Amino acid sequence: MLTAHTPFLAHEGQLGPLDSRIIDVEALPWRATPTPGVDIKVLLRDEKTGLLTALFRWQPGSVLGLHEHIEIEQSYVLEGEFEDDDGVYTKGNFAWRPPGHRHVARSPKGATVLCFFLKPNKFLEGPLAGEELK
């Protein structure tokens, strides 16, 4: 049984299990995360496996508290830039992190980032401490 879906996808209930899901990304809503200044637009989520593909919109000055990547995490910067102690990631940069990597991410100037997660992050500090991003 297919457990992956796109929240707010019009007519998703009318699609068969093997039909393509064509997403009008502009039509999907941005939604606030518990981290002030960071919004999410979910493109694909599988509650059963933890798989998540999402756009993140970082307002200037936003900070995502210390978190651990449980599986490989991938980020592609579409606009702006974000950073951590490993470096600054600007428009067009791609970064991936191995399982177990921990960091604090911040965006002094703002950014839009496409991210791929195989499992949800484990948050160790900040508003999401002890939780997973839903």
pLDDT per position as a tens digit, 61-105: 999 999 999 999 999 999 999 999 999 999 999 999 999 999 999
31 phi and psi angles, rounded to 5 deg: -135, 140
Task: Check: CB of residue 72 under 8 Å from CB of residue 94.
Answer: no
User: Both tokens of residue 34?
Assistant: 């518990």
The pLDDT value given to residue 20:
85
78 phi and psi angles, rounded to 5 deg: -85, -40
**Alpha carbon separation from 80 to 37, 71, 121 (Å, rounded):** 14, 25, 23
The pLDDT value given to residue 12:
75
- The residue to which tokens 């600054």 are assigned: 88
The pLDDT value given to residue 121:
83
* Mean pLDDT, all residues of the chain: 89
- What the chain holds in terms of domains, given with CATH numbers, is 35-123 (2.60.120.10)
**Alpha carbon separation from 70 to 8, 64, 115, 123, 132 (Å, rounded):** 27, 16, 14, 10, 11
Q: What's the pTM value of the predicted model, to 2 decimals?
A: 0.86
pLDDT above 60 (res 133): no
The pLDDT value given to residue 105:
95
